Structure 1
Amino acid sequence: MLTGKQKRYLKSEAHHLKPIFQVGKGGVNDNLIKQVTDALEARELIKISVLQNCDEDKDEVAETVSKGAKAHIVQVIGSTIVLYKESKEKKTIELPS
């Protein structure tokens, strides 16, 4: 579980990132979760954009994707979800304790 201090740090790190995935009409599927998992392994911190035509609520999308990818939800702001998962191979982000 992330502490408040760690979440604040990750929010500041994620600020300049662009969303690399979009969840639309199809919603969340296994393929999306696999791609998100791979991206988290490579980058550790990613943004996902939830489009207006998505049938699911953005909070439900965040829950589903984070559970599937075993990642932490850093924040859901507007229609953007920020996820974090520590990389096994390419650890670059050093979280404050």
Structure 2
Amino acid sequence: MQLSNKQKQFLKGLAHPLKPVVLLGANGLTEGVIAEIDSALEHHELIKVKVPEEEREMRVAINEAILRETAALHVQTIGKTLILYRPAREPKIRLPKG
């Protein structure tokens, strides 16, 4: 599934007031962190993940791994914060047609 620009703008608006649900710690991206992100996506559909890695290339690699492992869609990256969307089995967020 791909998000259109209109859908991304809609999700960005919904994500604006959200606080990061998952914060990567000193151990980086572990199976536990992936499971936590997966669980948060199932419950909330739209989440923010804080990746406090200083190196940009490493942060991009971590972001790509998160997207791959959780089958989530990338909405936006703002600095060290990643905004993810994945529709739940019973979606709460209704995306505009797009």
Residue aligning to 1:43: 44
Q: Quick one: distance in 2 between partners of 1:46 and 1:73?
A: 10
- Report the Cα offset of residue 31 of structure 1: 1.1
Residue aligning to 1:12: 13
**3-state SS of 1:57 partner:** helix
Deviating beyond 4 angstroms after TM superposition, the runs of 4 or more aligned structure 1 residues are 52-56
1:44-76 per-position Cα deviation (integer Å, ceiling 9, x unaligned): 000011124689622222111111111001011
Which stretch of structure 1 is more off in the superposition, 49-58 or 17-26?
49-58
1:3-26 per-position Cα deviation (integer Å, ceiling 9, x unaligned): 111111101100000001111331
What is the alpha-carbon root mean square deviation over aligned residues? 1.8
Residue aligning to 2:27: 26
Gaps of 5+ in 2: none
* Paired-residue identity, %: 38
Q: Quick one: distance in 2 between partners of 1:96 and 1:50?
A: 29
Return the TM-score normalized by structure 2. Answer: 0.88
Residue aligning to 2:75: 74
**Number of aligned residue pairs:** 96
Gaps of 5+ in 1: none
**3-state SS of 1:26 partner:** coil
Return the TM-score normalized by structure 1. Answer: 0.89
